[in-house]
Chains A and B, each alone.
Chain A
Amino acid sequence: MTSIGEPIRAGGPTPDIPPMQPVVPEPLGRPRRPATYWVTRAIFVAVLLFFSLLFLYPFLWVLSASLKSKADVFDNRLIPKTWHFHNYVHIWHAAPFLRWFLNSAYIDIAAAVSVTFVSSIVAFAFAYFRFPLRNFFFGCVLATMMLPGAVTMIPVYLIWHHFGLATSQFPLWGTNLFGSAFYIFLQRQFFLGIPREYFEAARMDGDNYFTMFWRIALPLAKPALIVTALFEFKAKWTDLMTPLIYLRSDSQFTIPRGLFALLGQWSPQAGGNGDYEWLMAAMVLSTLPMIIIFFFAQRYFIEGISLQGRKG
């Protein structure tokens, strides 16, 4: 019998065997589609085109508004009457925009790197080892995922306040040094899918558990790591509430906090001049990095979302 402290041997969790599929003979040549097939298909594409236009229009509206003069922002033309590329120059002077970009970049990268790495160590332990209290601890991970942030928000603020960090940028990513329940869950799913033989072979080569994790498990889990880093980066890039709680001076602001401040400063309702063309330029600049990342890493975002849904 295996004792509790030992890792589960190969074949512990039974691998999923796909059910047998009946062999359907492929029809010879391309099947002829009836005319109705092409008609319905055309209708579907037309409907989708309509919705695509609806989804893209706000982007186009904001982009074109960012190139207009102040008087024309709301004229609802897609092509500006006069082109004001100067808006994009002005925004860097009108607000500490470069500073916000750098702040966001620093916080987001620190958050993404730390949470990815630490969560993967923890997730690996939950997937590989069998140890006392493992199920209890994993239950805690799952429970944390369901817990609304509002419950812990105030005491966590008080902890940072106690250490004199409540007005610094550190609380925006500091807790990521201890991993995050959602990513631990996600990565554990991934590690469970890697056959144990890979790890056992490394053990035979005389690796200890950490070098095994480092040399074998991490490289194999690369897709899961990328998904984690991307999700966390995106989450921090758009987060508004935490910066509202912790950041006081505008030299500390992140991009979303900065945009929020600009709206409060320039909106006519709040006593500003209604400089929406600059605000639109700021919005384009703050959305662009996300769009670029998405185009390069689209596959991982799609995969990550499907990974979430798999364990319904």
Chain B
Amino acid sequence: MAATTTTAPVAGPLTRVRHWASGFRHRDTWWAFAFIAPWLFGFIVFTAGPMVASAILSFTDYSIIQTTHDVGLANYRSIYDDPYVLKALRNTLLWTAMYVPSDMILSLFLASLLARIDRLGSIFRTIFYLPVMTPTVAVGITYLLLFNGSYGLVDRALAIVGIHGPAWETDPHWIKPGLVIMLLWSVGSNVVLYLAALKNVPQHLYEAASMDGASAWRRFKDVTLPMISPTLFFTFIILTIYCLQVFDQVYTAFYYNPGVAGGTSGDATLFSVIYLFQQAFVYFHMGYASALAWMLFGIIMLVTVVQIVFSRRFVYYEGEAR
């Protein structure tokens, strides 16, 4: 093998393939394959295979119960005609657009306060993280009780300050804001993430900025924000993907009643994953649900790509350090 490299300094494609294939002759290679074998098997059976299967199912009327027919593009055409799909999509995007910025701003606000009070900070950090440990179903139930329009705590508290609170759970305009407020209860993990990022900003940058006479706001805008922008960017993407697929809390709060399959919110909380779940496992329209899943996948990809393209220029990576 050494001879080939000395006589042919630029390896031709054939040599490279042979060299690559020679890797399989090594014992170490087989050890490596033995080590990754469980994952490889799981990947083929539970990820790659199902992806192909789901694509095929989306062109059928599969339902487990009845015989399956090939329906061509009919499922995708129904998506186009189905008013609920559009409604669910609009609900999901609106909710995501409301939740993601609120979460990021609140976490950043709390994290910057925590960063200033060094030692006490860890106690508050624990408190802010506690709700993250609460089961999501419990969050949904808590929402249901606290935001009740007639006897809930939130409206009672608002009444004390003289505000007549809205009917959070029945007024379609107020359902999403209410959910946003309730789910902001679990901002804790982002607070932790931002706090770690803030602590990594080199102190001398602030000192230099102060010496140049920069105001607190300027220091925040021109030092803090650029320095933590990789973390902000990361959470922006992850939060959005999470929000587009939100299920547990909303399903608990509005779809607990077995007697009302359509939910108790009059479609205001019909989110994409909820609609998909119902189509697949309540009505067993599995072919249609597969098509919906691919549509959702496409939308998530599209949103992520748009986010990456538009926010990349605001992200500052320090040297090659990472």
Q: Which residues of A are in contact with B by a Cβ distance under 8 Å?
A: 1, 3-7, 16, 19, 22, 24, 40-41, 44-45, 47-48, 51-52, 55-56, 58-59, 61-62, 65, 74, 76, 118-119, 121-122, 124-126, 129, 131-132, 134, 137, 140-141, 144, 146-159, 161, 175, 177-179, 184, 209-210, 213, 234, 237-241, 244-245, 255-256, 259-260, 263-264, 267, 269-271, 276, 279, 283, 286-287, 290-291, 293-294, 298, 301-302, 305-306, 308-312
A5 adjacent to B26 (CB under 8 Å): yes
A58 adjacent to B142 (CB under 8 Å): yes
A151 adjacent to B297 (CB under 8 Å): yes
Q: Which one of A48, A118, A210 has the greatest number of beta carbons of chain B within 10 Å?
A: A48
Main secondary structure of the interface of B (DSSP, over half): helix
Main secondary structure of the interface of A (DSSP, over half): helix
Chain B nearest CB, measured from A130 CB (Å): 8
A5 adjacent to B286 (CB under 8 Å): no
Chain B residues with CB below 8 A from A279, complex form = 141
What's the Cα separation between A162 and B295 when bound, in Å?
Answer: 26
Chain A nearest CB, measured from B109 CB (Å): 9
Chain B nearest CB, measured from A114 CB (Å): 10
- B257 — nearest CB in chain A belongs to which residue? A270
A129-B31, A131-B29, A152-B46 are known contacts. Are A312 and B233 too (CB-CB below 8 A)? yes
A58-B185, A309-B193 are known contacts. Are A240 and B136 too (CB-CB below 8 A)? yes
- A266 — nearest CB in chain B belongs to which residue? B256
Chain B nearest CB, measured from A249 CB (Å): 15
**Which one of B33, B41, B259, B277 lies within 8 Å of A271 (CB-CB)?**
B259
What's the Cα separation between A260 and B136 when bound, in Å?
Answer: 10
Q: Which one of B1, B116, B197, B245 has the greatest number of beta carbons of chain A within 10 Å?
A: B116
Chain A nearest CB, measured from B159 CB (Å): 11
A290 adjacent to B133 (CB under 8 Å): yes
**Which one of A52, A124, A306 lies within 8 Å of B196 (CB-CB)?**
A306
B26 adjacent to A294 (CB under 8 Å): no
B192 adjacent to A302 (CB under 8 Å): yes
Q: Give the number of residues in B that approach A within 8 Å (Cβ atoms).
A: 106
**Which one of B54, B114, B130 lies within 8 Å of A152 (CB-CB)?**
B54
Q: Which one of A47, A61, A125 has the greatest number of beta carbons of chain B within 10 Å?
A: A125
B117 adjacent to A175 (CB under 8 Å): no
Chain A residues with CB below 8 A from B33, complex form = 131
A4 adjacent to B35 (CB under 8 Å): no
Chain B nearest CB, measured from A66 CB (Å): 12
A122 adjacent to B251 (CB under 8 Å): no
What's the Cα separation between A276 and B2 when bound, in Å?
Answer: 77
A124 adjacent to B46 (CB under 8 Å): no
Chain B residues with CB below 8 A from A125, complex form = 32, 35-36
